[in-house]
Amino acid sequence: MISIENLEKKAYFNIDNNEYYEGYHIEERRWNGWATPKFEKHVADLIAHNFSSTDFNIKYNEKNDYYSIIQKENGKIILEEKIKGQIINTTEGQKKVYGLGAFDWTWEDYTIEELEKNKDAIIITNGIIEKDDSINIEY
């Protein structure tokens, strides 16, 4: 039997911009006060695309089902990390998720009600971008 305390709840996660990524977490489970989210693959793919740069690369390894994060400084690798997929129990049933940036990045968490008050929010969900249909973001 699954305890209600162990169910991960849907929330929307943000790091210092107007994009809010749908994911799941246990609200009380924090890292230095920051949220520790997990994301379904579609959203994780968008995070990988949006957060990658020349010196910080996130790629999905389909054969082994993990995201590889490689950070470079002056051309040298200073961080290598693998984020494996996992099945969690949520308030919406079981979900396969990836903890991109959980326990590392400064994610803030929001409810959909909080975001409805933010007219500039770009809400990235598992399949669509909500709020403003005129937004044209190529991934």
Residues 6+ apart with CB under 8 A from 133: none
pLDDT at position 133: 44
Q: How far apart are CA 122 and CA 134, in angstroms?
A: 11
Q: What is the pLDDT of residues 41-95, one digit of tens each?
A: 999 999 999 999 999 999 999 999 999 999 999 989 999 999 999 999 999 999 9
Q: What is the pLDDT of residues 9-29, one digit of tens each?
A: 999 999 988 999 999 999 999
Tell me the two tokens of residue 91: 């308030």
pLDDT above 50 (res 139): no
pLDDT at position 6: 77
Q: What is the pLDDT of residues 92-126, one digit of tens each?
A: 999 999 999 999 999 999 999 999 998 899 999 98
The residue that leads in pLDDT, 53 or 6, is: 53
Beta bridge partners of 112: none
113 is a domain residue: yes
Beta carbons of 108 and 25 less than 8 angstroms apart: no
- Which pTM was predicted? 0.84
70 is a domain residue: yes
42 is a domain residue: yes
pLDDT at position 3: 57
73 is a domain residue: yes
DSSP 28: T
Query: How many CA atoms lie within 13 Å of 93's alpha carbon, on the beta-carbon side?
Result: 0
Percentage of the chain with pLDDT > 70? 87
37 is a domain residue: yes
DSSP 40: -
The identity of residue 63, as a single letter, is K
Neighbours of 7 (CB within 10 A): 15
Element spanning 10, H or E:
strand 9-14
135 is a domain residue: no
Look at the chain and report how many structural domains it folds into.
1
Dihedral in degrees, nearest 10, Cα atoms 57, 60, 50, 41 = -150
